[in-house]
Amino acid sequence: MDNLFIEGFIAFFTVSSFVYLNLGLLLGLVFGSIPGLTVMLCLVLFMPFTYTMDAIASFMFLLGIYCSGSYGGSISAILIKTPGTPHAAATMLDGYPLARSGKPKKALLTALYASGFGGIFSALVLLFAAPLVAKIALNFGPPEYFILCVFGLLIISGVSSGNLLKGIIAGCLGLLLSTVGMDSISGVFRFTFDDFNLYGGLNLVIVLIGLFAISETISNASKYSKTVKYASIKTDDNKDDVLPLKEFFSSYLTLLRSSVIGTVIGCIPGTGASMASFLSYDTARRNSKNKAAFGKGSEEGIAAAESANNAVTGATLIPLLTLGIPGDAAVAILLGTLMINGLTPGPNLFQEHGVEVYAVMIGLIVINIFMLIQGRLLMPFFAKITKVDFSLLTPLIVIFCFAGTFSINNTMYDIFVAIIFGVVAYVLIKLDFSPIPILLGLVLGNLTEMNLRRTVTMAQGDWFFVLSRPASLALIAIFVSLLVWFAYSRLRQRSLASKTEEQIA
Amino acid sequence: MKMTSNILGGLLFVGISLFILLVIPDQVQASSQVGINAQSFPRWIATLMLVCSVFLLVNEVRLQRKNGSINISAFNVDFKKEIRAVLFIVLIVAYALATPFIGFLFASMAFSALALLFFNITNIKFYIFLMVCCVVVHYVFKFLLLVQLP
């Protein structure tokens, strides 16, 4: 391990890594801070740029977007009471009141430092825990992988849609889309309708661009109104509007607790940052000596929400790198990048590409440090970023989508596929179906099918075969208890979110 | 009975899953008739989708009958919004169709200008900004990323 660590460090320590991670951080900050633009959209739009990069540089670039986008959402939540990302809603509960009381810089700095703290904490956990999990996962066979895939899909289906049935239906659609093209086991073509363009299956990036970027622009175009005005806060100089590090670290217990909550939740596929931020906000409020300040501009509240949601970023990489199971939609894109670069996630990744994996894990720590630096330097511009007009962004996104889609196979056919998926996603969103389970179904489809087919072959008609394997039994037991706990905390999160939002309003 | 998103969504996916189940024998050649083959996974998933869709429909109808449809909001189509969405889709399709004929750069410029008109933008700075952006995107993809844009 020591050798891999050193070799990974050397592989990471290149000029290109630093350039791309900083570029990614900047883009993530911009996209995260503009309400309506999402980290997902940013990852989808800029993924084609990584085709010319090596594995480490491309991962640094996308991880930079992922981490800073997570923090960027808090900027608009604090300054204009509009969360740039869903999980920033918990930050808004205290961030906006603190900013309104004349301390916007203090609110932004608390969010930034807490994000950095949570991010570095989870990156360290990733560095030490991932190799251990990978060792355990080496004992997993097809039945265990199949259970993992089903669990991930089920959780994501439940989380992303308000209605579990709709989530499962969307997940099924994704799984069906993954079967288009040549079957990797028998070699027969499926659902190609004699169109040779479909023989290789649907390209993940093209579908992503359609589902998340084009649908977003159609939605923006339908909603656009010049009368929308944000209630922004001036970030003028105020002597009291500072945050000494001593004051920030006075709530170290909250920071540590929230980072642990974020890391644990991030490890569970499908749970996500929103759950982590609301749960740790609630925990911080219950354990605080100054409960009354929560909802009225408590720095502890901002720190709890932000450290938890950024602690998720490193933790979601644990199931991705060790098992090949993406924890959320954004990480599914990272999975695509790994595969494009010939790195197949799973326990063998640590043995076959140990240097690259360690480089990525070390890079994540550095990314969080640079996020602190960029966030501090760019703070004066944040108020301007949050007010960028959508009429400028919407056509620009479409142009990027076209160029990015065309660059994959140099064919106009892909652009029309992306448009079709964009329109389909727009209709499905109108009918309250989330596109996230479709994406996860598409990403996990092949893995799920392969392991299901292998399990059925291994079982030879014995349906209790899976239960006879200790690893499968242990996984089923863990997942059933997690599902119960998950359902309980979801109910708790919902009631807390509605209660606190009522208080703020 | 009110037409809710659950009913419309349920009906849509009942149709999709039935279609898939119907085309599987034609679209997927079974390598062997015994055991699991290339048809099995799509068939199981389409069946699961059909069951969930039917359950979604039945559940919604049952709820509406039980509670009455007074407190249930019907699926409302805001025509003004949807016409804007349809127009924008037409604009995107026109952009895609025009690209092979006039090239990516000019098609993007025309699309940007039309999109700004669509948003009722009169500020000339916005037009200039987007034209510059088109040139930059074209340059980056064509000369830095070496993508042979049309």
Q: Hey, what long-range contacts does A286-292 have (CB within 8 A, 24 or more apart)?
A: A287/A253, A287/A254, A287/A257, A288/A254
Residue A182's DSSP bridge partners are A189
How far apart CA A6 and CA A17 sit, in angstroms, is 16
Percent of chain A with pLDDT over 90: 24
Is-contact A63 A363, C-beta < 8 A? yes
Q: DSSP state, A87?
A: T
Per-residue b or e along A479-505, where b marks 16 or more CB atoms closer than 10 Å to that residue's CB: beebeeebeebbeebeebbeebeeeee
> Above pLDDT 70, what percent of chain A?
89
- Nearest-neighbour CA in chain A from B90: distance (Å): 10
* Separation between Cα atoms, residue B40 and residue A459, nearest integer Å: 16
What is the secondary structure of A441-458 as a DSSP string?
HHHHHHHHHHHHHHHHHH
Task: Give the pLDDT confidence score for residue A378 in this predicted structure.
Answer: 87
Whether residues B89 and A219 touch (CB distance < 8 A) is answered with no
Do residues A47 and A334 make contact, with C-beta atoms less than 8 angstroms apart? Answer: no
> SS3 for A112-145, per residue?
HHHHHHHHHHHHHHHHHHHHHHHHHHCCCCHHHH
How high is the pLDDT of residue A381? 81
Q: What was the pLDDT predicted at B131?
A: 95
Nearest to A169 among B53, B96, B104 (CB): B53
Put simply, the answer to whether B52 touches A168 (Cβ < 8 Å) is yes
- Nearest CA-CA distance, residue B49 and chain A, Å: 5
Q: Reply yes or no on whether the pLDDT at A227 is more than 50.
A: no
The backbone torsions φ and ψ at residue B73, rounded to the nearest 5 degrees and listed phi first, read -85, 130
Nearest CA in chain B to A192: B27
Contacts of B105 (CB under 8 A, 6+ apart): B134, B135, B138, B149
Query: What is the pLDDT, as a whole number, of residue A239?
Result: 66
Average pLDDT over residues A426-445: 88
Residues, chain B: 150
d(CA A238, CA A105): 9
Given a cut of 70, is residue A233 above it in pLDDT? no
Least confident range of A96-110, A124-138, A218-232, A469-483: A218-232
pTM of the model: 0.80
CB contact under 8 A, A403 and B141: yes
Mean pLDDT across B94-121: 94
Rounded mean pLDDT of A215-225? Answer: 82
Among residues A145, A102, A118, A76, which one has the least CA distance to residue A311?
Answer: A118
Interface probe for A, chosen from B88, B116, B132, B138 (most Cβ of A below 10 Å), is B88
Find the largest Cα–Cα distance for chain A: 74
Nearest beta carbon to residue A415 from set B17, B52, B96? B96
Burial of A46 (0-12, 13-18, 19+ CB in 10 A): buried
The total of other beta-carbon atoms located within 10 Å of residue A71's CB is: 34
Determine contact, residues A394/A225, Cβ cutoff 8 Å.
Answer: no
- Tokens (6 digits) for A223: 């909603």
Per-residue pLDDT at A489: 67
Euclidean distance between CA atoms A217 and A255, whole angstroms: 37
Count the neighbouring beta carbons within 10 Å of the beta carbon of residue A388: 15
Asked if residues B3 and A424 have their Cβ atoms less than 8 Å apart, the reply is no
User: How large is the average pLDDT for residues A231-255?
Assistant: 72
Residues of chain B in contact with residue A415, where contact means CB-CB under 8 angstroms, are 96, 99
Q: Note whether A456 contacts B150, CB cutoff 8 Å.
A: no
Of the partner residues B28, B59, B88, the one whose CB lies closest to the CB of residue A218: B88
Interchain pair A224, B59: CB under 8 A: no
Of the pLDDT bands very low, low, confident and very high (cuts 50, 70, 90), residue B34 is low
Residue A500: pLDDT over 60: no
In degrees and rounded to multiples of 5, residue A375 shows phi and psi of -60, -40
| DSSP conformational letter for B30 | -
* Residue A299, C-beta contacts closer than 8 angstroms, at least 6 positions apart: A94, A98, A106, A107, A110, A243, A247, A248, A251
What pLDDT shows up at residue A159?
A: 63
User: CB A172 to CB B49 under 8 A?
Assistant: yes
Check B28 against A419: CB less than 8 A apart: no
Higher pLDDT, A413 or B70: A413
For residue B80, give Cα distances in angstroms to A222, A225, A340, A390, A419.
8, 12, 42, 19, 22
Indicate the angle between helix axes A273-287 and A252-267, nearest 10 degrees: 150
Interface test with A, best of B20, B27, B43, B148 (most A CBs within 10 A): B27
A195: left (phi over 0), alpha (psi -120 to 50) or beta: beta
Residue with tokens 């569970």: A268
Residue A391 has its nearest CB partner, among B126, B138, B141, at B126
Of A412, A426, A428, the CB nearest to B99: A412
Query: Minimal Cα distance from B78: which residue of A?
Result: A222
Nearest to A188 among B31, B129, B145 (CB): B31
Contacts B6 to A, Cβ<8 Å: 163, 166, 432
User: How many A-B residue pairs are in contact by the CB < 8 A criterion?
Assistant: 174
Task: Choose from A51, A399, A429, A438 for mutation: most chain B CBs within 10 A.
Answer: A399
With contacts defined as CB-CB under 8 Å, which chain A residues touch B115?
391, 394-395, 398
User: Stretch A459-483: mean pLDDT, rounded?
Assistant: 81
Q: What single letter denotes the amino acid at residue A416? A: F
pLDDT of A479: 80
Token pair for residue A332? 């599914």
Tokens of A63: 């991880």
Contact A306, A71 (CB under 8 A): yes
Write out pLDDT tens, residues A264-311. 888 877 666 777 888 888 888 888 888 888 888 888 989 999 999 899
What's the pLDDT tens digit per position in A342-400? Answer: 777 777 788 888 888 899 999 999 999 999 999 988 887 876 766 677 788 889 889 98
Reduced to 3 states (helix: H, G, I; strand: E, B; else coil), residue A500 is: helix
DSSP state of A467: G
Higher pLDDT, B14 or B68: B14
Q: A412–B146: do the CB atoms touch at under 8 Å? A: no
Over residues A44-96, the pLDDT tens digits come to: 888 888 878 888 899 899 999 999 988 888 888 888 777 777 778 788 888 88
N-terminal to C-terminal alpha carbon distance within chain B: 51
**B72 has a pLDDT exceeding 70:** no
Residues from chain B that touch A456, judged by Cβ atoms under 8 A, are 35-36
pLDDT for residue A232:
53
Q: Mean per-residue pLDDT for A107-135?
A: 90
Cα of A417 to nearest chain B Cα, Å: 11
DSSP collapsed to 3 states, A394-427 = HHHHHHHHHHHHHHHHCCHHHHHHHHHHHHHHHH
Output the average pLDDT for chain A.
Answer: 83
Tally: H helices and E strands in chain A = 23, 2
